[in-house]
Amino acid sequence: MTHTPPTDPVERLIDAFTRLPGIGPKTAARLAYFLLRAPDEVALELAEAIQALKERVHYCRRCFNVAEGDLCPICADPTRDQRTICVVEEPLDVVALERSGAYRGVYHVLHGVINPLENVGPEDLRIKELVERVRQEDVEEIILATNPNMEGEATAMYIARLLEPFGVRITRLAHGLPVGGDLEYADQQTLARALEGRHEFR
Amino acid sequence: MTHTPPTDPVERLIDAFTRLPGIGPKTAARLAYFLLRAPDEVALELAEAIQALKERVHYCRRCFNVAEGDLCPICADPTRDQRTICVVEEPLDVVALERSGAYRGVYHVLHGVINPLENVGPEDLRIKELVERVRQEDVEEIILATNPNMEGEATAMYIARLLEPFGVRITRLAHGLPVGGDLEYADQQTLARALEGRHEFR
């Protein structure tokens, strides 16, 4: 897919912005004209940050999270529990889990989910690398933390089956009501899962 | 206002994105991770488009619209009516009016409106340059096309008073119901203006 950018600089930037997700022509125009009026340091810092990202950031050779060096900071951290691997779809999921502060193990980033409608099969994801890790490393538990939707569930099920022969513990994140959420607004399936997963009140 | 960007490349790009209008931390993170996975040409084209914008785009010395050369394409176009000047707040307003195809004159971009609450006075806008144009050029009509809100009206009134001594025709864009709009959803003031401005049915 080749794409020839417009020659007019304003049009060219609007065009480049519209290629980002969730940014339509109107937002793109607003951003372009904002940058036109913004101080050089704001605009050029954005340009340089994009370039630095593409130059300096690669994927961790072990877990495929973003990394500047060969290993990501989490894989390189000897205080993390290297025998528990949390399998997630995207690097942003690692950020979310790290923010919770509740996880001390390591990760494995699939970079997507199995999605036949969008032509994404297991071979497009970092699944064989996960199997290789389980084969070679001393793994105790695999937490399947793909998203709680159809594709995420299917991917989790596929991976669970692949890893069965290795005899590691395979778990999935709990379903239930979000903390601070309102029962009234919870959807049927979440409520059903919250009921199924109910536990003794302590 | 100095601002030290974070050293981590992903954090740095998220930080740079959040400085754009309407982009919060979550959208910024989504965009940064999108660019991380996007082909180099998509990401680097955006970076280069920003740099080209800041390097190549300046303001027209006559009307202060965006321009690559000394004059913008509209001022440089001999087929445009150079004796009618439409005064707008922002370059994006020029884009909108040009899209309508209904205007054949030239423009004058103020780059803002008088807004005492935000400390923007007449001296911060391209108002004295407009007066200079009216003094020096052979101007027949000034269309005050600032936005139909309080600041836009006040700015239009201020400019109208300044230009009175020159004896040029000074007009304001019509108020009324938007085409394709619904009377039921029109606000009181728009309805009042639409009634005031009613004309013979042909």
Task: Test B20 with A31 for CB contact under 8 angstroms.
Answer: yes
Q: Which residues of B touch A3 (CB under 8 A)?
A: 41
pLDDT tens digits, B15-72: 999 999 999 998 999 999 999 989 989 999 999 999 999 999 889 999 999 998 899 9
Q: What is the pLDDT of residue A121?
A: 94
Question: What confidence tens digit (pLDDT) does each residue in B115-147 have?
Answer: 999 899 999 999 999 999 999 999 999 999 988
Token pair recorded at residue A185: 């607004």
Work out the average pLDDT over A178-191: 75
- Point out which residues pair with A109 in neighbouring strands: A88
Mutate which of B11, B13, B19, B50 to test chain A, going by most A C-beta atoms within 10 A? B50
Total Cβ atoms within 10 A of residue B104: 11
Residues paired with B109 in a beta bridge: B88
CA neighbor of B173 nearest in space, from B99, B114, B103, B110: B103
Distances in Å between the Cα of A11 and the Cα atoms of A5, A111, B65, B184 are 8, 32, 14, 37
CB contact under 8 A, B19 and A42: yes
Phi and psi at A87, nearest 5°, equal -95, 120
Where are the strands (E) in B2-80, listed by range? Answer: 58-59, 66-67
Q: Which of A31, A43, A66 shows the shortest C-beta gap to B10? A: A66
Q: Does the pLDDT at position B195 exceed 80?
A: no
**DSSP-assigned states of every residue in B128-170:** HHHHHHHHHS---EEEE---SSHHHHHHHHHHHHHHGGGT-EE
Selecting from A17, A34, A43 the residue whose C-beta is nearest the C-beta of B54 gives A43
B128: left (phi over 0), alpha (psi -120 to 50) or beta: alpha
Q: How many CB atoms lie within 10 A of CB A171?
A: 14
Contacts 24+ apart (CB under 8 A), B175-184: B175/B148
Q: For B118, which DSSP code? A: G
Specify the amino acid at residue B156: A
Q: Give the model's confidence band at B101: pLDDT under 50 very low, under 70 low, under 90 confident, else very high.
A: confident
Average pLDDT for A4-18: 88
Confidence of residue A110 (pLDDT cuts 50, 70, 90): very high
Place of tokens 């407009």: B130
B1: pLDDT strictly greater than 70: no
CA distance B32 to B41: 15
User: Which helix (DSSP H) or strand (DSSP E) does residue B87 occupy?
Assistant: strand B81-88
Contact state of B42 with A19 under an 8 Å Cβ cutoff: yes
Q: Is A150 on the interface with B (CB under 8 A)?
A: no
* Cβ contact B136:B108 at 8 Å: no
> How far from A179 is each of A66, A86, A152, A176, A194, CA to CA, in Å?
29, 21, 21, 9, 12
B54 vs A44, A49, A92: nearest CB = A44
Average pLDDT over residues A2-28: 88
Nearest in space to A87 (alpha carbons), one of A66, A109, A62:
A109
- pLDDT at residue A195 in the model: 75
Rounded Cα–Cα distance for residues B75 and B61 (Å):
10
The answer to whether B52 faces chain A, any CB pair under 8 Å, is yes
Gyration radius of chain B's alpha carbons: 21
- Nearest-CB residue to A47 (from B10, B30, B47): B47
Q: What is the ipTM of this complex?
A: 0.72
User: Which pairing describes strands B169-172 and B141-144: parallel, antiparallel, or unpaired?
Assistant: parallel
Measured CA angle at A54 (ends A106, A144), to 5 deg: 25
User: Which residues 100-129 of chain A have a CB within 8 Å of chain B?
Assistant: 111
Q: Does B5 touch chain A (CB under 8 A)?
A: yes
